[in-house]
Amino acid sequence: MKSIALVCGEFHRKSVEKMVEYAKKEAKSLGIQISDVVWVPGSFEVPLASSRLLSKENILGVACLGVIERGETDHGLVIGQAVLSSLLSLQIKHNKPIGLGIIGPGAENHHIAPRLEPHARSAITAVYSMID
């Protein structure tokens, strides 16, 4: 069975736990095994955890789940751009897919709940479609 991992941002734990459940259901429907679920403090730490997982031979890809809220400054936007850029580089470096299931940057409270399921499922589907 094909094995992937999840990297999950802890900062919005209750919301991301729901995303994990949706991701597991999607993976099961596609015949993918989620072998690792790694929790990190926030989205900024997602690239390092993803790189470590992608270095493992048995991990064929990673799906990243989390939320970057809109704040009073551009901090979330800057973090979001840095994380996305890093994840793109990691896909090329490891030649393995990364599914992006991070809501935001710029998400407001009313944006989060309706996006949990589609973002989680899409992250898994993206990894699945790119696995060799």
The CATH number of domain 2-130, selected from 3.90.1280.10, 3.40.50.960, 3.30.110.70, 3.40.50.720? 3.40.50.960
Domain boundaries along the sequence of the chain = 2-130
Per-residue model confidence as pLDDT tens digits over 109-129 = 999 999 999 999 999 999 999
Record the pTM: 0.94
Place of tokens 């699945």: 128
Sheet-wide strand order for 32-40:
32-40, 2-9, 62-69, 98-107
Catalytic residue (one of 75, 94, 111, 119): 75
Give the pLDDT score at 50. 98
Report d(CA 119, CA 132) in Å as an integer.
22
Give the pLDDT score at 1. 64
User: Which residues, other chains included, contact 50 with Cβ-Cβ below 8 Å and sequence gap of 6+?
Assistant: 7, 62, 64, 87, 90, 98
Q: Burial letters for 21-35: b for 16+ Cβ neighbours within 10 Å, e otherwise?
A: ebbbebbeebebebb
Q: Is 75 an annotated catalytic residue?
A: yes
